[in-house]
Structure formats: structure tokens, C-alpha cells
A and B are shown apart, each in its own frame.
Chain A
Amino acid sequence: MKLHDNHRTLFGLATALFVTLTLLVAIIPALNNQRNNAPLPGTRQLTSDEFAGKQLFIANGCVACHTQQVRKVAMDKGWGPRPSIAADYARNGRTDLWRNTATLMGTGRTGPDLTNVGNRQPSIEWHLLHLYNPRAVVADSVMPAYPWLFENKRLPGANDKVVSVPDAFTRGDGEIVATPEALQLVAYLQSLKQVALPDGTPTPEFLYQRPATGDSTPGDDAGGLIKLDGGALYTTYCQSCHQANGEGLKGAFPPLKGSPIVLDGNPARLIDIIMKGYDARVSEGYAIMPPIGTMSGLTAEEIQAIINHERSSWGNDAPAVPLDEVKKLLQTD
């Protein structure tokens, strides 16, 4: 065929086909997307500290393991209250002359998604300890440690942020103090929050919901009903601070094992702390407890499962709280 024997026509045609398709599937959609999406109300530009923290996040390649996208599927519900939409990313522009835009959506989830981590884990102390050595708070973590974001000081100054690291994980002598970089990185992580969509904007649905009732296929013994597992919920929402053995971390997170608040016959205070947070023990060196229940949108059933797990584990033996009581206490709150 003549067409195939002339290198100009052959390669010209191949290039034209490739470039045309490229325009259709890459360039035009990209241009449309950046033109048609404005930042959501309720969001703001990163502060200079948060921006510096984002640069550290990029430099250390955190995106290799952490996504920042809540997909439109039910299994992603834990990472944010709603699926991400294009406007969520509209504030991302070119970083500088040398570096491209960093949307940081990611393609792998070796570690947790970070879309909403500012709400899910608001404790600075937890983040600092976790960055110093992730295994100090999450025993089975495979995340790298970032000790170069910290320094050892014999006599920390009044403005120094001291991190109380369990002895097994301490390196070097003296107190461990967070560098400005560590604080910037944590500031960036805390800035990652999903905001509610403005009224009138359709919220995309989570697809592939699990069947709620008995219309499931044969072989599914539970009849499709999801039985709430207090232990699993505890692992998801509480364990990274209070630990699997319920003993917390000395000088950072208080124990639940033997805790008078957990064992109290009246669960009102326990539920109040879960829903509203707690800062009464900061003077003892403990971190501020975030209002984890409110931020994560925990239901009465989930809270019941969690507190009953806490009240009956690690040697705790307070009586189980019935669902009605939890519901009543949540309403009075």
C-alpha cells in the first residue's frame, strides 16, 4: 500500500490520530474541568505554614501510600462524609516555577486516605508522635519514621513543642522536640477537611451499598444484616490513641482499662466525651480528646457497640448499656 511506503504520510497520520484522540480525552476535559470548577464556599487558601507542610508532604513522597479522594463507593464512606467532587480540588494550582500542580489524589492506599484527616484525627500530639515513629502509636504500621523532623534538646525552651515518646522508641538523649517542619506538616494534615456542599448542590451518592435487609444471596448466613462489631469500631475510631490493650500511652493518651469514667454506672459522661471531646486532663500531660463521635458521624448503634466493648474488655466489667439509653443520652446532649 502506498500510504504505508511513505514515511511522511505514515508517521504524519499516526501522529494526527494520536494527537486528535489526546485532545478529546485529555486536553479538552482537563481545560473544561479547570474552567468549570470554583473553590467551594467554606474553604480557604492554605496558610503559609500549611503550604510549607504541603511541600514537605510532596517532598517526602507521602502520596505513594496515601490517597486524597473519597470515591463514589460505599467502601470509602469511612474516609469522608460524602464523595469528593471536582470542586474540592479547585484550589490546587501550580506550585512554583519548577514544580507542577500537586492534586495528590494518589493511586494507592497502602496507608489510610487523608481527605478528611483534619477531622478524623485532630490531635497534634498524636500526629507528632506518629511522625516520630508510627509504631509508637500503631503497633502494626509499616509507615516510615520521620525522626529528622525532630531534634533532641536537654533543656527545651518554653516555646518548644516537646513530644512524649515511649522509651522503647526514643533515639538520642534529652527531650524530643518537634522542628518547625514537623509542626508545618501537621498543620497541613489538620487543614485537610471535607466541607459540606452548599445548599442546592447535588451530593453524589455512594454506590455499591451493602444490602440492608434479608434480600441477600443464599450462603450469607447473617441474612445481610450487618451486626455491629464493637471491637472493630474501637479499632477504627479509638485504638490509634487508646491502644489495643486499652492502656493508652503514658503521658500522651489516658488508659480506658480501669478508667472510672468508662466503668461509671451512668454512661452519660463517657458518651459526652465521645461526642464533645475532652480537655480536662491536659495539665497531666494528656492530649486533648477530639469530639470523635460528632466528627465521624457515629450513630447511636455504633456508639453503643463501642462503649459496651470498652466496658467489657481488658478486665473492665461494667454492665452493658441498652440502646434506648444511648439514644436518650444523645438527644439530651
Chain B
Amino acid sequence: MPTSLCLFLAQATPGGTQLWGEPGVIITLVLVLLPLLLAGWLAATKGRGAVARLFGRGGDCESGTDLDVDHTPPGGPLIGNIDQAGTVRYLPSKKRAVQRPKVNPELSRLVLWYLGTATFWLLFGTSVGEYLGIKFVAPDVDQVSWLSFGRLRPVHTNAVFWGWASLAMVGLGYYVTATVSNTPLASLRRGWWSLILMKAAVALGSVSLMAGINNGGGEYREYIWPIMALFAGGIGLALSNFIATIARRRGDEIYISNWYMVAALIFVVVITTIAYVPVWQNGLGETIIQGYYMHQGVGMWFMMFLLGLTYYFLPQQLNTPIFSYSLGILAFWTQIIFYTVIGTHHFVFSSIPWSLQTVAIVGSVGMIIPVAAGTTNFLLTFRGAFHKVASSYTLPFFLVGVVFYFTGSFQGTAEAFRSTNLIWHFTDFTVAHSHITMYGIITFLLWACIYAVVPRLTGREPPHATVGAHFWMALVGLLFYVIPLMIGGTLRGLSWIYGKPFMDSVVLMAPYWLWRAIGGTLMWLSHWIFAYNIYRMVAGPKPIGLDDAPVAGDIIAKEALYDEAAR
């Protein structure tokens, strides 16, 4: 394959310019290199420190070693309370979750049910995805109608969209909206009904897709309308609940998290309605609506909601305010202005009006503004607190999510240009892009938020070693998944441009599909570790804490006294 790669890259594109000179290609290469350079820099600095320590050139602290001084204070070592039984000593120790005021146990139960159900759909949806990846390598692994590729593919996408990501987001949203509004959630009852409706929709939808009942093939609107109506009903209940909670807020200000989350809930109701109303769906009308719907689903529902959650959880985990409230406001309005118009970039060069395609491409470029504003805001919130990343088990997830937010979104811009669309459209490059975004951004940020909130709700923490295993397997798996697909997709597009027989382009994908299956397997295994961590956080052994100590009663009594005095 390397020979053909060189051959392709050495040749000119049909437009007459060098492939390397295409702006979209340059942007993509820089985006791929950014995280790699960051990782290289981190490894270099850490490595230098390690070498320095190894050879005893670590600096001042060494100077006193040859003095015969007994450092042990009278009465034995001071630090006698190190936990040597609970942790593996060669793993870096992470900070424990900070004890927070008690959350209403009823709200806590609701949020945990959402997250538990979401985890189930993550396991289900990605098991299906893993199986689909295997089918590219072994197409005859089964020949059962309910399990055939075309039927299972939407089962995978819809289960991870509406099951995993949506349920997890809304569940976390109930916690955040009540917390930042400083008031109890308006209605727990509606919260439960919303959960029941949403998961009923995913369960019924998955079965009906496997049975061959679908809406007509538009991506992410494969569920027929009676099923999607259940989902929309669930979202509608959540929306009314969020707004009612915000209406009762203490204080004038609406924290920016609530802007993003409530707007996302409103927008998803709007787009779902537009996608399913039959009035404008004849002929190409269907495709125009499809382009709009599929992209708004990603950007105005998942991305918008997740930004809202991040604006709460990231500063909270860093214990510092968000860098700039104004940047958040700028990102909010520009996201609406630009994102809404970009749907048609999924149909560049098609028979959809040319001007509409151009608007979509311009909008895709405009997305640089909200993406840059958001990324800057998050990274500058990290500023001065980067050292906390090493000692936290939630911050690495946030950092990966933020880095992919920049690279994944900007990659979308690069793909929308006509010159790059020519190479990458219809290939697996798109599949890589959607996994960088839905997995690298959305899922990593969701995990970050979940690991941040669940220990607060239950008082139990996941084993730090298994959180680390989850993080690294998911990240390495994702890279093994997307980078080969991006290379293979590029080669495939070029093979089409050069008029090679179609089957050649299928054969050339084989090794890249195999790498995808390997990466996918790592990702999938990491989800089982995540599920184990959820189990440990919800029902695992409770750590020995202050509450259990014999002096607990005294401390509580003292706290009560302080509170009294404070009032």
C-alpha cells in the first residue's frame, strides 16, 4: 500500500493543483498532528524529568543526602496514614472526590437511573457497533436477516445517540440545572416519566429496525414516527421541567450552562418535529430536510447540551471560575447562527440547489468562531491548573474532550470545502469524523461529567486503576479506529478520482477495516470497564470514612454548633 500512497500523493488532483496544497488537506494534517505533538511534548518533558531523577541530577533536594541526619521525628514517622492496601503503588495516586453537601436522595436516585440506563445502551449500542466492524472483515459471520448489516447499522447509531448520549446528558442535566439554579428540581415525577418514554423509544426502535421496519433510510431518523414521538415526548417533559426549575431560580442570573442545555432541548424538539412532519418531504424536499436534521441533531442537540454540562463541570472540577463568561455568550449565539445553516454540506455536488450548498460551506467555515471561542475558554480555564490534570481522574477526560472539540469540529470545516469533499465524501473518512466527534468529544465529556458527579451522589468512588484503564483503552482504541479510516478513506477517494475499478477501492480498504475492528474492540472493552466503575460507584463497597469513625458523632455535633453560630 505505501507505494500506491506515494503514487497517489505524487500525482496532481484533477483541478490541476497539488494535493498537498489543498487548504482542506493542510488543515486536516495540522489537526491530526496537534494532539500528537501535544503528546510528544508531554512525553518529552516527563521523560526528561525521569532521566534527571535517574542520574541524580535532579537538583537541590539531593544536596543534603550525604549528611548523617536522622529525619524521623520523635515518636515515629509523621505520615503513617498512607493507604498501602487500597492502591497499586506503581500507579500515580489521584485525588479523591471532594465531599460535597448532600444532594436530595430522590434527585440522586433519578440521576443514577438515567446514567445506569444510559450505560446499558452504551454497552448494547457499541456491542452492535463492534459486531458491524467485524462484518467488514468477515461478511459471512452470520446470515440472519435480523442481524444483517443494513438493519444493524441504524440500531447501533440510534442506540448510542438516543440511548447512551441522550439519556446520560438529560440525567446529568437534571442535576446541573437544579444546582446552578439553587433550587430543587421542579418535578421529580416528570423526570421519571421522561426517562421511561425515552428508553421505551430506544427499546422499541431497536427491535423494529431489526425487524425491518424503518422510516425510509435517512440517517438518525430511522425510527418510525410513533416511536420517535415517544422520544420527543420524553424530551418535551424534560424541557418543561428544566424551564420550570429555572423559573424558580434564586438570583437573577441564569448560569450559562442552563442556556446551552435548555436551548438544546428546545432545538431538538423543533428539528424532530420538522423532520417528521410530512408536508415538505416529497422528492428532494426529503433530502434537504434530511441534511438539516442529521446535522442539527449532532450540533444543536448533543454538542449544545454537552457544552452546557462542560460549562458547569469543568470549572467545578478545576475549582476555578470559567475563564470568560462573554466568550461563552459569543459562542452561544454564533453557534446558532452558523450551525443552523450547514446541514446541506452532506450533499455537496448533489442535485440540491448549488446556492444552498454554498451557504452550507460558508456556514461550516463560520463554525470556526464558536469552536475557537469555546476551546479558548475551556483551555484558559485550565490555565494555571494544568498540574491538576495529573492528579485527577476526571480532568484527563475533559482535556481529551476539549482537544477533540477543536480538532473534530475544525475537521468538519475542512471536509466541507468542495475540493476536499471531492476526495472524502462517500468514503470512510466521514465515519472517522463522526467517531472523532460523537465519541472523542461527546462521549469523553460525558464520562468526565459522570465520574465527576456520581461519587458526589453516592459517596463511593471508582477504583482509580480501572478509571485509568478505561481512559487509555478508549483513547488508544479511538485513535486506532479513526486514523486508519482517514488514511484508507483518502486513498479510496483518490482511487475513484483516478477512475480505478470500484472493486479495487474495496480491496484497498481491507487492512484499514481490520485496524478499525481492532480499535473498535479496544473501545468496546473499555466500556465494560466503565460499566464496572459505575457499579463500584453505585453499589460497590463503601470506603471507610468519617461517618463510620467513632468520633463522627462529635464532629457532626461540632458542625451543628458552627452552623448555629454562623447564623
Contacts and interface: CB of A to CB of B under 8 A. Distances in A.
Most chain-A Cβ atoms within 10 A of its Cβ — which of B140, B263, B285, B504?
B285
B333 to A, nearest CB: 8
Contact of A14 (B213, B217, B263, B346): B263
Given A219-B12, A236-B501, A107 B426 contact: yes
Nearest to B144: A148
Nearest to B222: A61
A48 to B, nearest CB: 19
Interface string B233-260: 0000000000100110000111000110
A43 interface: no
Given A14-B266, A29-B356, A220 B148 contact: no
B124 interface: no
A282 interface: no
Contacts of A91: 283
Interface in B111-159: 135-136, 139-140, 143-145, 148-151, 153-154
Nearest to A12: B266
A213 interface: no
A25 B422 contact: no
Contacts of B336: 14, 17-18, 21
Interface in B417-439: 422, 426-428, 430-431
Contacts of A31: 279-280, 285
B294 to A, nearest CB: 8
Given A98-B226, A102-B217, A107-B219, A92 B286 contact: yes
A235 B504 contact: yes
Contacts, number: 292
A73 B148 contact: no
Given A7-B243, A219-B12, A235-B503, A107 B285 contact: no
Nearest to A149: B145
Contact of A101 (B254, B286, B506, B507): B286
A140 B506 contact: yes
Give the most central of B140, B274, B283, B336: most A CB within 10 Å.
Answer: B283
B283 A37 contact: yes
Contacts of B286: 30, 92, 100-103
Contacts of B252: 5
B359 interface: yes
A60 B283 contact: no
Nearest to B149: A144
Interface residues of B, number: 104
Contact of B501 (A99, A135, A232): A232
A135 B263 contact: no
Given A27-B274, A99-B216, A216-B12, A135 B140 contact: yes
A34 B283 contact: yes
B217 A61 contact: yes
Interface residues of A, number: 95
B503 A140 contact: yes
B281 A148 contact: no
Interface in A1-57: 4-5, 7, 10-11, 14-15, 17-19, 21-22, 24-27, 29-31, 33-34, 37
B289 interface: yes
A144 B147 CA distance: 10
Nearest to B256: A4
B289 A109 contact: no
Interface stretch (B27-35, B93-101, B347-355): B347-355
A93 B427 CA distance: 28
Contact of A25 (B149, B247, B349, B356): B356
Contacts of B500: 232
Contact of B10 (A102, A142, A215, A219): A219
Contact of A18 (B139, B216, B340): B340
Contacts of A138: 503
A318 interface: no
Contacts of B153: 61, 64
Interface stretch (A152-160, A193-201, A203-211, A252-260): A203-211
Contacts of B259: 4, 10, 14
Contacts of A101: 216, 278, 281-283, 285-286
Given A141-B506, A211-B16, A235-B504, A95 B356 contact: no
A76 B422 CA distance: 10
A64 B285 contact: no
A14 B336 CA distance: 8
Contacts of A14: 259, 263, 266, 332, 336
The 6 closest A-B pairs by CB, nearest first: A61-B150, A59-B212, A102-B216, A235-B501, A109-B426, A30-B285
Interface of A: 4-5, 7, 10-11, 14-15, 17-19, 21-22, 24-27, 29-31, 33-34, 37, 58-65, 67, 69, 71-76, 78, 83-86, 88-95, 98-110, 112, 133-135, 138, 140-148, 171, 207-211, 215-217, 219-220, 226, 232-233, 235-236, 239
